[in-house]
Amino acid sequence: MGKSSKDKRDLYYRKAKEEGWRARSAFKLLQLNDQFQLFKGVRRVVDLCAAPGSWSQVLSRELYENNKDNEVPPKIVAVDLQPMAPIDGVTTLQADITHPKTLSKILEIFGGEPADFVCSDGAPDVTGLHDLDEYIQAQLILAALQLTTCLLRPGGTFVAKIFRGRDIDLMYSQLGFLFDKVICAKPRSSRGTSLEAFIVCLGYKPSSTWKPSLDLNVSTEDFFKGANIGRYELNDELHYEEESRNVAPFIACGDLSSYDSDATY
Amino acid sequence: MAGNLIPIEHNGPTIALKFFEDDLLLVGHGPILKIYNYKTSEVITTKRIFKKNKIHGITFDRDTLAFYGARSLSILSLNQILEEEELTKYEKMVNDWIIAGEFSYNGLEVYLLTAHNVILGVDSYSQTLQWEKSVWGEKSILYSGSIKVTSKYDVYINAGTVMGGVIIWDLYKEEIIHNLLGHEGSIFNVKMSENDKYIASCSDDRSIKLWDFKTGELLSTAWGHTARIWNLKFYNGDSAVVSVSEDLSSRTWNITEDEKLVANLTFELHSGRHVWGLDVKDGEMLAATGGNDGRVRLVDINPRKIENETQSFEIEDIVANSQYSVKKNEVVKGFWKLNAGLIVVTSEGGIFRYRNNEWTLVKVNLGLKNYSLTNGHTHKNIITFTNDKGITILFKFSDEGDLIKESLIASEVSKVINSISSIYNDELYLLIESPNKKEKLILYHINEDLEVVSTKFFGKGQTFVTTCFEIVGGLVFIGFRLSSIGIYDFETSEEVQLIKKVSISDTVTSIKTLQESQDKILLSVTNRDGYYLYIEYEKSTNLHTYIHTNDLRKGFLEGSIHANQELVVYGFKSSYFYIYNESRDFEIAYENCGGAHRLWKLFYENGNFDFIYTRSGALYIRSIECPNTPYFLGEGSHGREIREISIRQKEYKGANKLYVTGAEDTTIKLSSINFDTGKIRNYWTIRKHTSGLQKIKFLNDNLIVSSSAREELFVWKICENFNYPLISLFGTLNPSSDNPDLRIMDFDHIFVYNDHELKGFVLVTVYSDSSIKVSFFDIESQSFSPLISGFYKTCCLFDVKFIVHDHKVYILSGASDGHLSLWDITDEVQFKVSKNRLNYTETLELQNLPQPLNMIAVHQNGIKDFDIFKTDSGILVASGGDDNGLGLTQFNLNDETITSEIVSFVPNAASSTITSLSGLSDSRLLVGSVDQIIRLWTFKDNELRLVDAHYTTVADTGSLDSTEYKTSDFALVGGIGLAVWEIK
Ligand SMILES: C[S@@+](CC[C@H](N)C(=O)[O-])C[C@H]1O[C@@H](n2cnc3c(N)ncnc32)[C@H](O)[C@@H]1O
């Protein structure tokens, strides 16, 4: 979905090599953190769609390496369809996050304890059919949100990659029901010519009327039934309905003196 | 918000296609349904089915039709579609993406397969949900699936998962029948054959697998597509499969008796990338395919197609009916198609005629041994054979095929290497060439009675070998190797002119007259390297101008045919011979003949082609008849994202305006638009850039500039002297290095005059490495010279404009850091300003870009587009950003120190990146965003206010341009597709 500008010679790419990050994506998380202090007080994290693992590397450095003297070690779980080379302090899981079984497995690893932070940098294979690609991307975010509603502590943070297309404001609106603040953030390390951005959801506020529960025969669509987050729900009487839309405030992160990912040198 | 924005027409990816009744084809163009009579290409009706969603599928039961796409569903009768104006009120929704839809056996229900492998049963009359069915634990996400209704109780769901599995389940038993494993990656299509014998599936792994439905056994895996396959269909009584792909090809596959899937036909029917839509009219073996380019192609997919259209004859077949004994190594040495039949000569002098499917020996002429240079005049039934000694034998046949006359010409040359012919005023002209440099070219005019009417001699340059010639307007145009053309006076035989280097290299392969008038000749010239051009030749001055230039980029280009005002070209690409309609940009036919090294000739008449060639000693005749269905329906546009649109202000032939589009596919299209009907018409697809276009703009009525990555910038010129517009390359801005990798993000121009004469223009270009350059383009010399060079910062510059205000020249740029910056370059530009235009001076030197005078942070992130409006005190700048914001910034240029101020800013002016904006009259602004909403704003009293907003069906909305026509404004909106809007 992102416009492809194939030159890899941008500065972030080189800098990632120099600093030992597995992908230039690391800078996106670092710049998001600079803006929102995402890691503050965070001890337990789920990193979804994590391969090759640069976000996990950042999390490991911030929560694990820098806090080695802490008695209780932090918990970092990384999940991806692809295998991932090990990282200190990170538990990796190779699985599909849209599959209910995967979510149950992650819950198990946390053993009933909540997480402070859930992030997802997932991107599906794009087909070129824009509406379908946007739908699948939304499904990936919803799958991450499913897990989030089952695992995140109240007040916790959820960050996910989005592509700003025609229906992204539906997503903003629905997340608005579950979080205090929903922001669309664009790190400077993410190309301005790409539609990629990150949705930063701060202050999780679980619904008082809806109890999320994972069931193996429940699809993502069924899961959110009754959640009252403004999603269209199936009735016998089929009708046309516009779901509510809402534009999240936009924040560019990373300071202006940082490198420009659109420039070529 | 009253409707100020009115959508008129939409061209975009075509996903849903369905043949219906005798001669109808239902096509989903985005949310709009068009019903075509596919035999006449008449559009029976155009109706919007959905408010926003695209039609992804169409299915029907008798005259009830169901349309689905995304989460939308609409069940309508044919009468409703034809008679009611407003159909979107019938749109219904479900809670999930609909992958497939099908009517139940008795038609009372519609089954919908959702992206989570659930079937919803909808009553087709009341249109209410009746039930949901699924198989336990398999509600995983699907990219594809299909529903096969076999009987009232036997309904099979074929679900393609994202993990390489195909799950076949029984709807009413809610049980899995097979889980077919073997593919890698997501499954993109799965279909069951009509008689329930087979299942075909395709996936990310680019293969097609054929499975036995009963046993679930994998029968065959077929390869051939070079990218993902999007659609499959069984046809011809389940003995063949047709597939369409991301790789742009459509292929057919035969199922052999031992149940193997074997490749058969390959077509390239669309342009850009992706073929999505597919349906087959089984009885007629006619396929309809829908591309990202918005076109529907109709193509004969009869598995016997090639056999039916091709005849091949070994030498033994040719002589079979005659008293003729074939000599050792005897082969076909020459042929010509006459009205009387196909005449063939063998290497031993046997002359045969093929007529009414029968070969007959015409005569044996041992003297004809090795007379391999064959020419002819098809309508006059004349054929000529020339040997290397300079003897030409001529035969004339009656229409019935009898040899009625023979004649001989002896040319006084030491040797012959070439003999070529041309028809002028319906008479045959034969040109004989000797390899001896001192011997002139001999041109014979031969009449119907095989008499030589005249003989002319033409001198030729030292290193030239002739390849083709054309006689017109008292001149002979002779094409040579090394891409040059000699022009001779027909009467005096004098050389009038020699045009060298028509292209960079290689041979001129054809010269054809397109038009002749009192004072001008228009010729089309093809070059073997793929380059072709139109030359306008002025008789009185002997001046020639290239008024159309283009590169075919399809291997070797061997010639052209001008038919019905369209340019048809042909040539070889690796082992294939192709015939291509270049004006309308589509493939007519291809033939796997083994490559260019053979005897071959293409004959054309009334839309029918005969490609005759030899291969390993045998003679092949491939007859391509003009199909009785149109080649395509719907004009369509680029098959990749349109990055920029520019509409010319001046009207073009009445109701139309010309416009150009530049796309991700690296091409430029020159087209016209009729605002009354919304109809577009493409004239040319220009292939010159080697990377996706960044910008393209009309500078005035006939000059265009385009830019892209790799530092490419070209100047183009439009010519309107003929029945359709022509476009030629007029200038090139040289890159700064041999291996350029910068993107030229934007440019702007100011014209430079010498008194009243237009001398050229000053061009500012901005680059992805933050550099800014200004240069002067001289129209006479067609070349650029540098004026100013410098840098902004280290970030990418997105856009730039010139401002001329109060005898000063400014540059305003927008960058990825969200700043607008202003430079005063009055001194550095060197040309003086008077009356808002620049005056030409001669000596120019390269200057450094001065420091910017003013910088203002308007957006948080990149400024994607801006437009400027002049005010008394300076300018107002409307800008749109990646931050979803729309800004209005005022620059005061009158005071001693220049000041700027944001006078209005709307942070959430769109829910996604604002990519393009265009100023309209009355302080109005049209704004496009990737949220697919077109918004109309006003900024009266310096305050931005939203007037109207309307959803556009064009995804990845990246460009728009507007123009006034009659009393309204009109806009073209581009992205993946192109939409036409009226702005009231
Ligand atoms: C942009 S990469 C993530 C990069 C990562 N954050 C890093 O910094 O190294 C996107 C990942 O999403 C994963 N992905 C896509 N769909 C998924 C799914 N359904 N379940 C799990 N992972 C998925 C892909 O395998 C891919 O590795």
Q: Work out whether strand B382-386 and strand B391-397 pair parallel, antiparallel, or are unpaired.
A: antiparallel
The token pair at B399 is 């229409």
* Amino acid at position B169, single letter: W
Please indicate whether, in this complex, the C-beta atoms of B274 and A128 are within 8 angstroms of each other.
yes
> Is the CB of residue A206 below 6 angstroms from any atom belonging to ligand 1?
no
Instruction: Identify the helix (H) or strand (E) that includes residue B950.
Output: strand B945-951
Q: Are B208 and B202 in contact (CB under 8 A)?
A: yes
**Measured distance CA(B876)–CA(B399) in Å, rounded:** 77
**Measured distance CA(B422)–CA(B839) in Å, rounded:** 52
Distance from the alpha carbon of residue B119 to the mean position of ligand 1, in angstroms: 29
Distance from the alpha carbon of residue A105 to the mean position of ligand 1, in angstroms: 18
Q: Are both B187-303 and B743-857 of the same fold?
A: yes
Query: Which of A33, A121, A136, A137 has the most ligand 1 atoms within 8 A of CB, as the residue to mutate?
Result: A121
Residues 6 or more apart whose CB falls under 8 angstroms from that of B542 comprise B487, B496, B497
Distance from the alpha carbon of residue A47 to the mean position of ligand 1, in angstroms: 10
Q: Which residue has the tokens 């033939």?
A: B591
Please name every residue paired with B583 in a beta bridge, in sequence order, or none if there are none: none
Q: Model-level pTM? A: 0.94
List the 706-725 stretch of B: residues with Cβ below 8 A of A: 709
- Ramachandran region of residue B369, left (φ > 0), alpha (ψ -120 to 50) or beta? beta
**Mean pLDDT to the nearest integer, A137-161:** 95
Closest CB to A256 among B120, B817, B931: B817
Torsion of CA B347, B350, B351, B356, to 10 degrees: -110
Please name every residue paired with A45 in a beta bridge, in sequence order, or none if there are none: A76, A117
> Is the CB of residue A96 below 6 angstroms from any atom belonging to ligand 1?
yes
Predicted confidence band at A265 (pLDDT cuts at 50, 70, 90)? low
Residue A4 has pLDDT above 50, yes or no: no
Predicted confidence band at A262 (pLDDT cuts at 50, 70, 90)? confident
Please name every residue paired with B602 in a beta bridge, in sequence order, or none if there are none: B611
Quick: pLDDT tens for A78-109: 999 889 999 999 999 998 888 878 888 999 99
Residue B736 has pLDDT above 90, yes or no: no
Q: Does B953 touch chain A (CB under 8 A)?
A: no
Closest CB to B139 among A172, A219, A249: A219
Please indicate whether, in this complex, the C-beta atoms of A128 and B246 are within 8 angstroms of each other.
yes
Predicted pLDDT at A28: 96
**Measured distance CA(A3)–CA(B634) in Å, rounded:** 27
Q: Which residue has the tokens 């026509």?
A: B965
Q: Are B918 and B867 in contact (CB under 8 A)?
A: yes
**Measured distance CA(B925)–CA(B944) in Å, rounded:** 9
Query: For the sheet containing B797-805, what is the strand order?
Result: B797-805, B808-815, B819-824, B854-857
Contacts A130 to B, Cβ<8 Å: 955-956, 976
Please indicate whether, in this complex, the C-beta atoms of A221 and B140 are within 8 angstroms of each other.
no
> Is the CB of residue A124 below 6 angstroms from any atom belonging to ligand 1?
yes
Which range, of A228-242, B759-773, B818-832, averages the lowest pLDDT?
A228-242
Half-sphere exposure of B691 (CA within 13 A, CB side): 19
Predicted pLDDT at B366: 75
Please indicate whether, in this complex, the C-beta atoms of A264 and B769 are within 8 angstroms of each other.
yes
Catalytic annotation present for A161? yes
| Alpha-carbon distances, residue B500 vs A185, B49, B437, B559 (angstroms) | 59, 58, 19, 19
Classify residue B2 as exposed, middle or buried by CB count within 10 Å of its CB (0-12, 13-18, 19+).
exposed
Q: Work out whether strand A90-94 and strand A115-120 pair parallel, antiparallel, or are unpaired.
A: unpaired
In ligand 1, which atom is closest to the CA atom of A53? 9
Q: Whose CA is nearest to atom 10 of ligand 1?
A: A122
The DSSP string of B807-839 is TEEEEEEEETTSEEEEEE-TTTT-SEEETTEEE
Q: Whose CA is nearest to atom 13 of ligand 1?
A: A49
Distance from the alpha carbon of residue B199 to the mean position of ligand 1, in angstroms: 32
Q: Are B956 and B915 in contact (CB under 8 A)?
A: no
Residue of A161, A186, A205, A211 marked active site: A161
Please indicate whether, in this complex, the C-beta atoms of A166 and B817 are within 8 angstroms of each other.
no
List the 113-172 stretch of A: residues with Cβ below 8 A of B: 125, 127-132, 135-136, 139, 164-166, 168-169, 172
**More confident site: B887 or A230:** B887
Omega into A249 within 30° of 0, i.e. cis?
no
Please indicate whether, in this complex, the C-beta atoms of B114 and A221 are within 8 angstroms of each other.
yes
Quick: pLDDT tens for B672-715: 999 989 999 999 999 999 999 999 999 999 999 999 999 999 99
Contacts A165 to B, Cβ<8 Å: 912, 930-932, 955
**Measured distance CA(A88)–CA(B495) in Å, rounded:** 83
Residues 6 or more apart whose CB falls under 8 angstroms from that of A4 comprise none
**Mean pLDDT to the nearest integer, B54-72:** 97
**Measured distance CA(B39)–CA(B629) in Å, rounded:** 5
Predicted pLDDT at B867: 97
Predicted pLDDT at A9: 59
Please indicate whether, in this complex, the C-beta atoms of A250 and B817 are within 8 angstroms of each other.
no
Please indicate whether, in this complex, the C-beta atoms of B97 and A172 are within 8 angstroms of each other.
no
Q: Are B180 and B211 in contact (CB under 8 A)?
A: yes
Please indicate whether, in this complex, the C-beta atoms of B93 and A232 are within 8 angstroms of each other.
yes
Q: Which residue has the tokens 């420039």?
A: A263
Residues 6 or more apart whose CB falls under 8 angstroms from that of B541 comprise none
Q: Which residue has the tokens 């002749």?
A: B516
Please name every residue paired with B364 in a beta bridge, in sequence order, or none if there are none: B350
**Measured distance CA(B77)–CA(B124) in Å, rounded:** 11
**Measured distance CA(B658)–CA(B671) in Å, rounded:** 6
**More confident site: B866 or B502:** B866
What is the ipTM metric for this complex?
0.91
Q: Are A75 and A66 in contact (CB under 8 A)?
A: no
| Closest to A110 measured CA to CA, from A45, A29, A32, A15 | A45
Helical residues (DSSP H) of A23-69, grouped into ranges: 26-36, 54-59
Q: Whose CA is nearest to atom 23 of ligand 1?
A: A49
Q: Does B231 touch chain A (CB under 8 A)?
A: no
**Measured distance CA(B622)–CA(B612) in Å, rounded:** 6
Contacts A184 to B, Cβ<8 Å: 884
**More confident site: B371 or B645:** B645
Q: Does A18 touch chain B (CB under 8 A)?
A: no
> Is the CB of residue A115 below 6 angstroms from any atom belonging to ligand 1?
no
Q: Does A247 touch chain B (CB under 8 A)?
A: yes
Quick: pLDDT tens for A124-148: 888 999 999 999 999 999 999 999 9
Predicted confidence band at B269 (pLDDT cuts at 50, 70, 90)? very high
The class (CATH top level) of B187-303 is mainly beta
**Measured distance CA(B348)–CA(B466) in Å, rounded:** 27
Predicted pLDDT at B86: 96
Mutate to test the interface with B, among A35, A131, A135 (most CBs of B within 10 A): A131
Please provide the average confidence, as pLDDT, over all residues in chain B. Answer: 94
CA angle B375, B376, B377 (to 5 degrees): 155
The token pair at B54 is 């695209």
Distance from the alpha carbon of residue A43 to the mean position of ligand 1, in angstroms: 22
Q: Does B73 touch chain A (CB under 8 A)?
A: yes
Contacts B120 to A, Cβ<8 Å: 234
> Is the CB of residue A222 below 6 angstroms from any atom belonging to ligand 1?
no
**Cα-flanking dihedrals φ and ψ of residue B980, to 5°?**
-115, 130
Predicted confidence band at B730 (pLDDT cuts at 50, 70, 90)? very high
| Closest to B276 measured CA to CA, from B52, B57, B112 | B57
Predicted pLDDT at A66: 77
**Measured distance CA(B45)–CA(B66) in Å, rounded:** 17
Q: Are B527 and B508 in contact (CB under 8 A)?
A: yes
> Is the CB of residue A56 below 6 angstroms from any atom belonging to ligand 1?
no
Instruction: Identify the helix (H) or strand (E) that includes residue A133.
Output: helix A130-151
Q: Which residue has the tokens 């979080």?
A: A179
Q: Which residue has the tokens 């001890």?
A: A43
The DSSP string of B9-30 is EEE--EEEEEEETTTEEEEEET
Rounded to the nearest angstrom, the gap between the alpha carbon of residue B727 and the centroid of all alpha carbons in its chain is 16
* Amino acid at position A72, single letter: V
**Cα-flanking dihedrals φ and ψ of residue B444, to 5°?**
-105, 135
The domain locations on chain B are: 187-303, 560-624, 743-857
Q: Whose CA is nearest to atom 5 of ligand 1?
A: A50
Query: Which of A49, A105, A137, A161 has the most ligand 1 atoms within 8 A of CB, as the residue to mutate?
Result: A49
**Measured distance CA(B838)–CA(B572) in Å, rounded:** 50
* Amino acid at position A87, single letter: I
Report, at the CATH architecture level, how domain B743-857 is classified: 7 Propeller (2.130)
**Measured distance CA(B257)–CA(B222) in Å, rounded:** 15
Please name every residue paired with B613 in a beta bridge, in sequence order, or none if there are none: B600, B620
Residues 6 or more apart whose CB falls under 8 angstroms from that of B37 comprise B23, B24, B25, B44
Mutate to test the interface with B, among A1, A10, A80, A132 (most CBs of B within 10 A): A132
In ligand 1, which atom is closest to the CA atom of A52? 9
Coil/strand/helix, residue B411:
coil
